[in-house]
Amino acid sequence: MKDEILDLVFKDPLPTIAEIEAKYPPRQLPEGAIVTRVGPSPTGLLHIGTLNAALIPYSLARACGGVFFLRIEDTDQKRQVAEATDVILKAFKDYDICPDEGPQADGTQKGAYGPYIQSQRKDIYQAYAKELLRQDKAYLCFCSEESLAQAHETQVKAKIRPGYYGPFARCRTLSEDAVLQNLKDGKPFIVRFKSPGHYTQKIIIHDLVRGKRELPQNDLDVPILKSDGLPTYHFAHLIDDHLMGTTHVMRGEEWLSSLPLHLQMFEAMGWQAPNYIHFSHILKLDEQTGNKRKISKRYDPEACVNFYDEQGYPKTAVIEYLLTLANSNFEDWRRANPDASYKEFKLSIQKLNSSGALFDLAKLNSICREHIGKMTAEEIYDATWAWAKTYRPDFATKLEQNKAYMIDILNIERLGAKKVRKDLIKWSDVETETAFFFDDSFQPADPYAALAPMPAETVKAIVTDFAALYDAQDDKDTWFAKIKQVAEKNGFCADMKAYKANPTAFKGSVADVAKVLRVFITGKEQSPDLHAVMRVLGQQATLKRLSV
Ligand code: GLU
């Protein structure tokens, strides 16, 4: 292409290809180490799939002593959301995903292969686009959006494969004089890649997880620079992954169908293509249609990472859940290594799931229960307080004012107990599950309604008799002996076996008596160990709740 045209297209001076390449020398890596990355577009709320798309390359790079970097893909200026990069950085920090290179929270960038924000790399993309134009591997397209839409409609109506290719690629054959004239007339333009492919011929693509596939060659002349001079994703990832020395491109499966194009572009540039891995989407069963669909920020609150933050899901448990979705052997490893950090698990490319996993909140919840079940009361207190500071400031204050009491509460059936409590899934549960320990948040049930059909006089007698005997200093056996005593006095059977053998001979069993006390003390029919609950509440508060 004539220099005159290139000078009109790129008015500002650009670095030469040699200058650029000199700034990105090949990386020196240990044997077997990979270089991989995540390239989120800053669009606001972070999708759980993006967290996953960071966790997997991060874990794989860590497992082999490789490099994992963060690149902010902000070339779609229409979709930019201010502060969205901060959202990404904060989430990575919170979830302990630590890129070796990339933008930092203080506005600086770490690493020798930057800048790691695509909008700051405009001159690099333009320099390569100029080179492709010079070599006639790209061309200027002056088609308006309307004329493209019209062409598309015509193709669809005529049942022809839609797109800008072959005879439909109208600007591909424009003479240089016509191009020059258009530029002089100030017509807006974009730059398109001149595809050397033939749709009727095949290309073999190789995804490290999905294996080999034969697909039609790409013959679309896709845009590589938009009218604002910024690159499209196809072009930007090509340039960046080449210069930044990426050995393994890991990205969502929505890009799999573009792989023939990307391989073709690498070839056109004369570069070796990296390895590719396409992650499966996290799926959701659509209640209306009964079909599986990609979990979506628009419809599913759990698709957004801030859902887990707001609810107070333990971040480590969320990561563990994502690892169970990612690698089929994670759960076996976890069972064999119950106390190890998930960071010790060696994620492997071979074991990455190649089909979409269904999001299962119940599974996540059970991982959270196990996770919290292994924490000390102090650790739970600290984590809950840190969460409440942001999401429930009033509760944070309550925690601060009642620290010792709260830790006593959380210690009920905790570490070392025969049966450890598994009632907490997330930090917000601490507030609801401990509410009955505080007079200001205790919600007494209507005990007589809750205990019906037990007659009110019987209920009252049980409560009064027990209150007369209660001593917060009693050990569990003494405490239980007193409940049995109250049971017998009121016509209930103190021995469960004897009761089961002849239930009609009694008003009920010792379990029914305990239930009466539980309803009065906690306002609920189920609670942690009642002896411990009363002991933590203390003599005075216990008796107050038992006054009828
Ligand atoms: N910005 C692209 C996306 O969000 C990144 C894909 C890639 O990692 O190459 O889908």
CB contact at 8 A, 325 and 357? yes
Is it the case that residue 194 has pLDDT exceeding 90?
yes
**What pLDDT, on a 0 to 100 scale, did the predictor assign at position 459?**
97
List the residue whose alpha carbon is closest to atom 4 of ligand 1.
40
- Distance from Cα 219 to the centre of ligand 1, integer Å: 22
Please confirm whether the linkage preceding 40 is cis (ω < 30° from 0): no
The ranges of the chain annotated as CATH 1.10.1160.10 are: 292-372
- Distance from Cα 192 to the centre of ligand 1, integer Å: 20
The neighbour count for residue 404, using CB atoms within 10 Å, is 8
Q: What digits encode the pLDDT tens for the residues 475-521?
A: 999 999 999 999 999 999 999 999 999 999 999 999 999 999 999 99
Is it the case that residue 287 has pLDDT exceeding 80?
yes
Q: Report the predicted TM-score, pTM, of the whole model to 2 decimal places.
A: 0.91
Mean pLDDT of 404-419: 92
Closest CA to 166 of 89, 237, 220: 220
**What pLDDT, on a 0 to 100 scale, did the predictor assign at position 1?**
66
**What pLDDT, on a 0 to 100 scale, did the predictor assign at position 388?**
98
Q: What digits encode the pLDDT tens for the residues 111-136?
A: 999 999 999 999 999 999 999 999 99
Mean pLDDT of 522-526: 93
Give residue 203's pLDDT band: very low, low, confident or very high (50, 70, 90). Answer: very high
**What pLDDT, on a 0 to 100 scale, did the predictor assign at position 45?**
87
The ranges of the chain annotated as CATH 3.90.800.10 are: 123-232+252-269
Say which CATH class 292-372 falls into: mainly alpha
- Distance from Cα 386 to the centre of ligand 1, integer Å: 32
List the residue whose alpha carbon is closest to atom 3 of ligand 1.
40
- Read off the tokens for 452: 């019906």
**What pLDDT, on a 0 to 100 scale, did the predictor assign at position 354?**
85
According to CATH, what is the number of the domain 123-232+252-269? 3.90.800.10
Which comes out higher in pLDDT, residue 327 or 516?
A: 516
What number of residues does the chain have? 548
Q: H-helix or E-strand containing 252?
A: strand 248-252
**What pLDDT, on a 0 to 100 scale, did the predictor assign at position 242?**
98
Topology (CATH) of 447-545 = Arc Repressor Mutant, subunit A (1.10.10)
Largest Cα span, the chain: 109
Mean pLDDT of 211-226: 97
Q: Which residues line ligand 1 (CB under 6 A)?
A: 39-41, 73, 233, 237, 249, 251-252
**What pLDDT, on a 0 to 100 scale, did the predictor assign at position 297?**
87
Q: What digits encode the pLDDT tens for the residues 140-158?
A: 999 999 999 999 999 999 9
Q: Ligand 1: which of 46, 233, 234, 249 to mutate, judged by most atoms within 8 Å of the beta carbon?
A: 233
Mean pLDDT of 183-190: 97
Is it the case that residue 80 has pLDDT exceeding 70?
no
The ranges of the chain annotated as CATH 1.10.10.350 are: 447-545
Is it the case that residue 522 has pLDDT exceeding 80?
yes
- Distance from Cα 65 to the centre of ligand 1, integer Å: 23
**What pLDDT, on a 0 to 100 scale, did the predictor assign at position 82?**
67
